[in-house]
């Protein structure tokens, strides 16, 4: 099983700052199969980034994804108030078919 470990667990930043979220895999993951989701309190998860770096429809360009192999990063260039949420990475491959990271909570400082 490929385990995804996200860090930090909680990130406290102010609006306007840059956020860098990490997702580390226990073994190599194809970039094609690494996805990021955003979940706000009481809401359903929302697709942000797929293929490690492709933004989903309607996602602002302040969100970007990068990485390869075992290390992937979600970057939010300038935080807006609506960006404070929990972020999950996900990978496809092997057994189980999909795994999620445990999430990073991005909170207002």
Partner 1 sequence: EVQLVESGGGLVQPGGSLRLSCAASGFTFSSYSMNWVRQAPGKGLEWVSYITGSSDAIYYADSVKGRFTISRDNARNSLYLQMNSLRDEDTAVYYCARDVADCSGGTCYEIRFDYWGQGTLVTVSS
Q: Taking CB under 8 A as the rule, does residue 99 contact partner 1?
A: yes
Selected from 20, 54, 68, 77, the binder of partner 1 by CB under 8 A is 54
Instruction: Give the contacts of 93 (CB within 8 A, at least 6 positions apart).
Output: 2, 29, 30, 33
Q: Taking CB under 8 A as the rule, does residue 62 contact partner 1?
A: no
Selected from 12, 102, 108, 109, the binder of partner 1 by CB under 8 A is 102
Q: How far is the CB of 4 from partner 1 (least distance, A)?
A: 10
Q: What is the DSSP string of 61-102?
A: TTEEEEEEEEEEEEEESS--GGG-SEEEEEEE-SSSSEEE--
Site residues for partner 1 per CB under 8 A: 32-33, 35, 37, 39, 44-47, 50-51, 54, 56, 88, 90, 92, 96-103
């Amino acid at each position: 099983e490929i385990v995804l470990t996200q860090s930090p667990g909680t990130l406290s930043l102010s609006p306007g700052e840059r956020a860098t979220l990490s997702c580390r895999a226990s073994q190599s993951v194809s970039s094609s199969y690494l996805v990021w989701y955003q979940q706000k309190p009481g809401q359903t998860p929302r697709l942000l980034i797929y293929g490690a770096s492709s933004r989903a429809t309607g996602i602002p360009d302040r969100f970007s994804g990068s990485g390869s192999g075992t290390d992937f990063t979600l970057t939010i260039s300038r935080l807006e108030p609506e960006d404070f949420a929990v972020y999950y990475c996900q990978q496809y491959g092997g057994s189980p078919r999909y795994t999620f990271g445990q999430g990073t909570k991005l909170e207002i400082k």
